[in-house]
Amino acid sequence: MADQSTPSGQPAATPDARLPLLAKFGFGAGDFAFNLVWSGTGLFLMYVYTDVFGVSPTIAGLVYAIALAWDAVTDPVMGIIADRTRTKWGRYRPWVAMGAIPLAISYALAFWNPGFTGIALMIWIAFTHCLLRTAYTVASIPFSSLQARLSSDANERSQLAGFRMMGAASGVLTVAMLTPLVVKKFGQGDEGRGYVLAAMAAGILAVLIFAFVVSVMREPEETEAAPTPEPMWNDVGAFFSQFAQNGPLVRVFLVIIAVSIAVTMFSKNVLYYFKYVLEAPESATLALVTPALAMLVLVPVWVFIASKTSKRAAWMMGSVISALGYLAFYFNPSKDVGVVMAIIMVISVGGSSFGVLFWSMLPDTVEWGEAHHGVRHEAKVFGFASFAQKAALGVNALLLGLMLDGVGYKANQAQSVQTLDGITAMMSLIPLLGVLASMALLWKYPIDAKRHAELRQQIAARNTPTNPLQGH
């Protein structure tokens, strides 16, 4: 038998074997580290732009849109580069190792204003935001692609997605709880200084965790040679051609856009809602950590439900719960923090299903593409999914900025009734539409456990050397 060892002497992973617990924990830890940055960007950066830097909501949203256009270039390119990478450490782990420190530095820079105003400030935040997105892309797309490489077993992938979402929830929880504390204690009345210090602390912690992740994750032994060098745009064209014919992938891709816009529209408004609508900014931290707590507790429940029914059925169940929560939020007449928190908990219970189910569905669509077209596009698929998430974030921020200006929002001032009602509508009705759209898109999603097993058999038959279809 061939020696299937990594350069460190530890056993390499095999796609069909049960993964060691340490590998699953390492995968979850990686998402914890990424969410120290991703959730901080989603929860606090828009607020920092408007209420700390003094940028108008529309300009702040435009910066996100510029970053979205940049992601449209860098995400697919990084997916192609990662798919072409071949090293003795694997395809994807080296990128996680190389991208950790640049990601931490760019995250802190995004929250720092060197003293610019006017046009100079707009250029600065656009530059640092795009720099952050680039560093995130370089590390995160190869990391996400590991999920499809580590195992081809549907249940193992659901467990990996579960560990990943528990790591993500822990990361969100850490950032949501500690950032306001750091801002208050170490900012000493200067919010800008506090947010920079919080970002620096999160970045340093992320680098340490990435070092651990790279040391414990093991990719399967490489069985394919690197693709024959050809113009990168040919690779892009071939992928998009096959993407358009991969119905399940198209559905999942559209779902992540719809749900990401929905969830982000709610979370981005939390600070504004508690500060201006409820006039209880000190309670915002609890609202920010509630979704993370719900995910941390309920991810194993959703993994279990998906294994006993199907990923599609579990998604529908979570969507119904979330939709009811958003309706209750919009029609709630009470401004009592306790009542609002109870509704947010209902929303969070349903929403906790989305991450684990999406990330367990996505690698299944890789097999669908391989079974139908004979080519695996792991990193490109995950790169495309990463772009979908970031596209949703960009679209969301632009819409939020335009709508905040549209309802008359003025930072750090008493808001009109129209403005307060507008904030409430934005963070409930738009998420409701996104959740309903996801249900419609997944209504006829075709990959269940039985169909996935058939796809794997089809791929195995094609790859068997004695297969007469291969001319042997």
* 420, containing H or E segment: helix 417-426
Q: Retrieve residue 318's tokens.
A: 């979570």
Within 245-310, residue ranges assigned H as helices are 247-272, 284-308
- Residue at 312: amino acid letter: R
How many angstroms separate the CA atoms of 199 and 182, rounded?
10
Q: Residue 5 in 3-state DSSP?
A: strand
Identify any residues that bridge with 13 across adjacent strands, giving them in sequence order. 220
How many angstroms separate the CA atoms of 382 and 165, rounded?
16
Report pLDDT for 465.
Answer: 60
Average pLDDT for runs of 10 along the chain of length 472: 38 56 86 92 91 93 86 79 78 88 96 94 95 92 77 72 82 91 89 95 95 81 56 59 75 86 87 93 90 86 88 94 97 94 96 83 79 70 72 81 92 92 94 94 86 79 59 42
Q: Retrieve residue 416's tokens.
A: 């009109």
Q: Which among 404, 278, 397 has a CA at the least distance from the CA of 344?
A: 278
Query: What does the domain layout of the chain look like in residue ranges?
Result: 21-219+238-451
Task: Write the CB contacts of 62 (distance below 8 Å, at least 6 apart in sequence).
Answer: 398, 401
What does pTM read for this prediction?
0.72
* 59, containing H or E segment: helix 57-84
- Residue at 16: amino acid letter: D
Report pLDDT for 238.
Answer: 59
Identify any residues that bridge with 220 across adjacent strands, giving them in sequence order. 13
Report pLDDT for 12.
Answer: 44
How many angstroms separate the CA atoms of 222 and 225, rounded?
8
Report pLDDT for 112.
Answer: 96
- Residue at 320: amino acid letter: V
Q: Which among 83, 158, 80, 152 has a CA at the least distance from the CA of 367?
A: 152
Q: Domain 21-219+238-451, what fold? A: Growth Hormone; Chain: A; (1.20.1250)
Task: Write the CB contacts of 308 (distance below 8 Å, at least 6 apart in sequence).
Answer: none
Q: 90 — phi, psi (to 5°)?
A: 115, 180
How many angstroms separate the CA atoms of 182 and 204, rounded?
15
Report pLDDT for 9.
Answer: 38
